[in-house]
Amino acid sequence: MSENLHQLRCFGCGSRIAGAEAQPDFRCAQCGDLFEVEYPGWNQRGGPDRPNPGALKWLWRERRCSSEGLDQSGVWRFRELLPILESFGNAVSLREGNTPLYHLPRAAKALGIDQLFAKHQGMNPSGSFKDTGMTAALSVARERGFEWVACASTGNTSASMAAYAARAGLNSLVLIPDGKIAWGKLSQAMDYGALTCQVKADFDGCLRLLTQVVKQAPIYLLNSVNPYRLEGQKTPAFEIAEAFDWNVPDHVIVPGGNLGNSSALGKGFRELRELGLVARLPKISVIQAVGANPLVRSLRDNHGAVLEPVEAHTRATAIRIGNPASWRKAARVIEETGGQCLDVTEAEIAIAKAEIGAEGLGCEPASAVTLAGSKKLRARDAIRPADTVVLVLTGHTLKDADYTIDFHRGTLLTDEEKQGTGKEIEALRRNAVNVEATPEAVLAALKGSKG
Ligand code: F0G
């Protein structure tokens, strides 16, 4: 099989271009919509480039025991389904992917189902799901000879991009909303050597600004408007299918921000089905924060015909996005898989995050919307007791330690936000206690603890 087999197809008007012909902002010159990577060779049944499902399943499993760098990546392990490079030797990898799938027994019991799992993408090298997309798109940037890469970010994309750029020896430019990203993420961008610009704008404003910049300088844009990002981010779908022995779960629940991730996972499962690796699609549901819910509104108010941007507010800063770029792609994924799009309150997010913490896993606030959303899906009976559900946890708990500490100290939420959830929150809070340096004081603390 040759390595580079792809072309780009416009999601809006369907026009096709070669990968190298894309404009710097990755918008279609005809209609302004975004592109998707497609692989024409796969459509010819029996053709030389159409992958063989049985052989692939065997090969991908074998690679898990390989000591070769590319095989040890949970993205490039599946490289037959991402032939986007002239040479895979150009791939820049930090051994991303191959993330754990954890059972969540307590949350499952509370939901009234048995099979609840967390696919923890926060266990990637830079601590978020972005790494799977970054290894793909940054490798393309390197292969095409760019010296600078850039992104606008609520924090995780910038951390990931800066790490991969540093590994590849490229320069990176980050635009972030001033004061609106978690410290852990900002510290990563600095540590990995990015030129980090704190901009007096929200995420949507940063992305608009960057779009102008990349048209004026030879800088490669690495936001999820870049279709190669989504190629990497589709691979967790392969890992999930593989973990269930190629029987997909009934539900996959994803947080929604700029909506690249839900689009990518949908594409991943769709390709598995088209190639005959799985027989059906999981229902993919997207969960947003109530204060940053433009897709929820669009689907509710006009069945996804138009999206009215909102001014976004949520403490889950990763998904504080009011004008998501990939909304059309995500809307299609929800529709074609029979999933739903819901929003959850600040209190529901905080409670769900503490519950995931109490299972010994932890995650970012933005990731916890998945558990909060599952409760609503279960209450509507959209999730049935016998269903298998996978929550995609997108970021590591240490990314936003301030949020967690504020929750446990009881200073995170206002009384208005807590409304009716006070007891639940109190039961989950585990504030640190100050004790004297004596055994008696520690024993007294033990006695007073909630266990
Ligand atoms: N969860 C986390 C932890 C994120 O960082 C993001 C997005 C999302 C969920 C939403 O994913 O945008 O693909 O719908 N973070 C971006 C960033 C926007 O800049 O780090 P999405």
Query: Which pLDDT score, from 0 to 100, does residue 44 have?
Result: 73
Token digits of residue 262: 């839900």
Query: Which pLDDT score, from 0 to 100, does residue 208 have?
Result: 97
Q: How far is the CA of 46 from the centre of ligand 1 (A)?
A: 38
Q: At what angle do helices 130-143 and 156-168 cross, to 10 degrees?
A: 40
Chain-centroid distance of CA 373 in Å reads 16
Q: Which atom of ligand 1 is nearest to the CA of 185?
A: 20
The protein residue whose alpha carbon is closest to atom 19 in ligand 1 is 153
Q: Which atom of ligand 1 is nearest to the CA of 224?
A: 13
- What phi, psi does 38 have (nearest 5°)? -135, 160
Write a three-state SS string for the chain.
CCCCCCEEEECCCCCEECHHHCCCCCECCCCCCEEEEECHHHHCCCCCCCCCHHHHHHHHHHHCCCCCCCCCCCCHHHHHHCCCCCCHHHCCCCCCCCCCEEECHHHHHHHCCCEEEEEEHHHCCCCECHHHHHHHHHHHHHHCCCCEEEEECCCHHHHHHHHHHHHHCCEEEEEEECCCCCHHHHHHHHHCCCEEEEECCCHHHHHHHHHHHHCCCCEEECCCCCHHHHHHHCHHHHHHHHHCCCCCCCEEEEECCCCHHHHHHHHHHHHHHHCCCCCCCCEEEEEEEHHHCHHHHHHHHHCCCCCCCCCCCCCCHHHCCCCCCCHHHHHHHHHHHCCCEEEECHHHHHHHHHHHHHCCCCCCHHHHHHHHHHHHHHHCCCCCCCCEEEEEECECHHHHHHHHHHHHHCCCCCHHHHCCCHHHHHHHCCCCCCCCCCHHHHHHHHHHCCC
Distance CA 205, CA 311 (A): 11
Q: How far is the CA of 67 from the centre of ligand 1 (A)?
A: 31
Pick the CATH number of 97-451 from 3.40.50.300, 3.40.50.1100, 3.40.440.10, 1.25.40.10: 3.40.50.1100
Alpha carbon of 344 to those of 317, 333, 370: distances in Å? 14, 20, 9
Query: Which pLDDT score, from 0 to 100, does residue 441 have?
Result: 97
Per-residue pLDDT tens over the stretch 263-297: 999 999 999 999 999 999 999 999 999 999 999 99
Per-residue pLDDT tens over the stretch 78-103: 999 999 999 999 999 999 999 999 99
340 half-sphere exposure, CB direction, 13 A CA radius: 16
Q: How far is the CA of 258 from the centre of ligand 1 (A)?
A: 7
Q: Which atom of ligand 1 is nearest to the CA of 160?
A: 20
Residues in the chain with pLDDT < 50? 1
CB distance 150 to 173 below 8 Å: yes
Q: Which atom of ligand 1 is nearest to the CA of 233?
A: 13
Taking the alpha carbons of 187, 190, 191, 194 in that order, is the dihedral positive or negative? positive
Q: How far is the CA of 318 from the centre of ligand 1 (A)?
A: 5
Instruction: Give the mutation target among 124, 134, 149, 154 for probing the ligand 1 site: most ligand atoms within 8 A of CB.
Output: 154
Q: Which atom of ligand 1 is nearest to the CA of 366?
A: 1
- What phi, psi does 235 have (nearest 5°)? -70, -25
The protein residue whose alpha carbon is closest to atom 11 in ligand 1 is 257
Q: How far is the CA of 41 from the centre of ligand 1 (A)?
A: 32
Q: How far is the CA of 319 from the centre of ligand 1 (A)?
A: 6
CB distance 141 to 84 below 8 Å: no
Q: At what angle do helices 156-168 and 183-191 cross, to 10 degrees?
A: 10
Q: Show me where the domains of the chain are located.
A: 97-451
Query: Which pLDDT score, from 0 to 100, does residue 2 have?
Result: 55
Tell me how crowded residue 359 is: count the other CB atoms within 10 A of its CB. 17
For all residues of the chain together, what is the average pLDDT? Answer: 96
Q: How far is the CA of 222 from the centre of ligand 1 (A)?
A: 13
For 271-274, the CB contacts below 8 A with 24+ separation are 271/42, 271/81, 271/234, 272/237, 272/238, 272/241, 272/248, 274/42
